[in-house]
Amino acid sequence: METALIILASILILAGIIGNILPALPGTPLSFAALLILQHTSDGEAFSVAALVVFGILTLCSLTFDFVLPMITARRFGASGYGLWGSFLGMVVGLILFPPLGALLGLIAGAVGGELLAGKRSGEALKAGAATVAGNIAAVVLRLGLSLTMAAMFVSALI
């Protein structure tokens, strides 16, 4: 049973890393779940309680940043709700049609298209679209960094 749980945790840690790039998977929660499973299989000796609490809090923060950071960045540069929704929808459609590069291209096209639908001129739409993309990329980088840190701790605890 312990070996099966370690294999499951290993799959979750990989899925967590991938999930920070693909919008369909909750990356950081999957990575954190892998740490919890490994902690369970090691009779509580893999990680300190403090480390798990810190990673739990960081995981919750990453979920918040996932929604807040793109909005803050986009709003700061004049993006509308249309641009935010357009970027999300474009990313999902791009990912489905042309994975994985389509996610980025769809994000950009959706943000700019949304701003144009909101009645912005092309220059304003491009500026707001770029800000939306920058906020989304910043959120991905933060989440990915957190999952990679958890993966490093996971591998370290296995060795």
SS (H, E, C) 36-71: HHHHHHCCCCCCCHHHHHHHHHHHHHHHHHHHHHHH
The pLDDT score that the predictor gives to residue 89 is: 87
User: Which segments in the chain show pLDDT lower than 50?
Assistant: none
Question: d(Cα 51, Cα 34) in Å, to the nearest integer?
Answer: 14
The pLDDT score that the predictor gives to residue 60 is: 93
Alpha carbon of 115 to those of 22, 71, 94, 106: distances in Å?
A: 24, 14, 18, 14
**Helix (H), strand (E) at residue 13:** helix 2-19
The pLDDT score that the predictor gives to residue 26 is: 86
Q: Is 125 within 8 Å of 86 (Cβ atoms)?
A: no
% of residues, the chain, pLDDT over 70: 98
The pLDDT score that the predictor gives to residue 45 is: 86
Q: Is 112 within 8 Å of 129 (Cβ atoms)?
A: yes
Question: d(Cα 45, Cα 49) in Å, to the nearest integer?
Answer: 9
Buried b (16+ CB within 10 A) or exposed e, 48-64: eeeebeebeebbeebee
Q: How many CA atoms lie within 13 A of 3 on its CB side?
A: 0
Model confidence pLDDT, tens digit, residues 42-55: 887 889 999 999 99
The pLDDT score that the predictor gives to residue 68 is: 74
* Domain total of the chain: 1
Domain of residue 149 covers 2-158
For the chain, the first-to-last Cα distance in angstroms comes to: 19
